[in-house]
Amino acid sequence: MVLLFIPSIVSIKVEAGFVSSAVIMMHIYSEANFTLSLFFNELGLMMVGFGVALLVNMYMGDFQKQMDHYRLQIEELYRKIFSEIAKYLENGDTNWDGKELIEADQILNKAKSLAFIDVENHITRKENEFYVYFDMRERQLEIIERVLPKITTLPVMVQQAQLVADFMRDLSQNVHSGNTARSFRDKLEIVKEEFADMPLPESHEKFLAMASLYQFIEEMDEYLVIKQSFKGLNVNR
């Protein structure tokens, strides 16, 4: 019976009920006689077990403080990354080793796992706002990692680099869980307009540099679009 029971519950995707069901079956097997009193006894055992589990789940402690700590770490790392990009665009050289990118990826993996567990521990929750937040940051990190080579491989520094540097420094000082992406997208449009008003490149190298910078700001616009779609976190700060 057990050999038939296991594939049956797997096929209908109710594996979580295997342990309690197996216990009840073994009770009936040991009695070797199914009676109405035994039925009510097993039903009572199920109600006690499931009732206690339900109460524990309802009052399960959450991980909000820890997730908020991860949020602050991520935002600080993003500030550092943007600040280093601005420095590179201004000076053409930096000693930055990019370790913040690795740290951000590691923290995001931990944070998303924790947020998922928090949802699983509370049957009344269908979605965790922190999970949505960390998922949003993860998609932004993919863009950051994709655009960095466009900056670090500039053949020469051009006048437009300072415009982008100023924007990135401003952005680095405004990384938070609120939603101000719309205002920064407006600022980025101004950068694009100033870009267009500047003199045309005098050499092939400058042309390549300008093209890379323009691609960079287009990618940063996508970064902001992702943030704009996020409604914001309800945190005490």
- The pLDDT mean for the chain works out to 84
Torsion (CA) 24, 26, 32, 35 in degrees, nearest 10: 0
**pLDDT over 80 (residue 16):** no
Confidence of residue 56 (pLDDT cuts 50, 70, 90): low
Predicted pLDDT of residue 15 = 73
**For residues 218-233, average pLDDT:** 89
If you count DSSP H runs as helices and E runs as strands, how many of each does the chain have, helices first?
9, 0
**Single-letter code of the amino acid located at 184:** F
**pLDDT over 70 (residue 58):** no
Residues 96, 103 contacting (CB under 8 angstroms): no
Backbone φ and ψ for 157, nearest 5 degrees, come out as: -90, 130
Handedness of CA 154, 156, 159, 162 (dihedral sign): positive
**What domains sit in the chain, N to C, each tagged with a CATH number?**
2-58 (no CATH), 66-228 (1.20.120.940)
| Long-range contacts formed by 114-121: CB under 8 A, 24+ apart | 114/63, 114/66, 114/67, 114/70, 115/63, 115/67, 117/63, 118/62, 118/63, 118/64, 118/67, 121/57, 121/60, 121/62
Among 16-25, 102-111, 200-209, the range of highest mean pLDDT: 102-111
In 3D, which of 135, 234, 219, 154 has the Cα closest to residue 185?
Answer: 219
User: Which of the pair, 193 or 196, is modelled with greater confidence?
Assistant: 193
Residues 69, 115 contacting (CB under 8 angstroms): no
**pLDDT over 90 (residue 118):** no
Segments in 60-203 forming alpha helices (H): 64-91, 99-120, 129-152, 160-172, 181-197
Confidence of residue 46 (pLDDT cuts 50, 70, 90): confident
- Report the percentage of the chain scoring pLDDT > 90: 34
- Report the percentage of the chain scoring pLDDT > 70: 91
Predicted pLDDT of residue 99 = 93
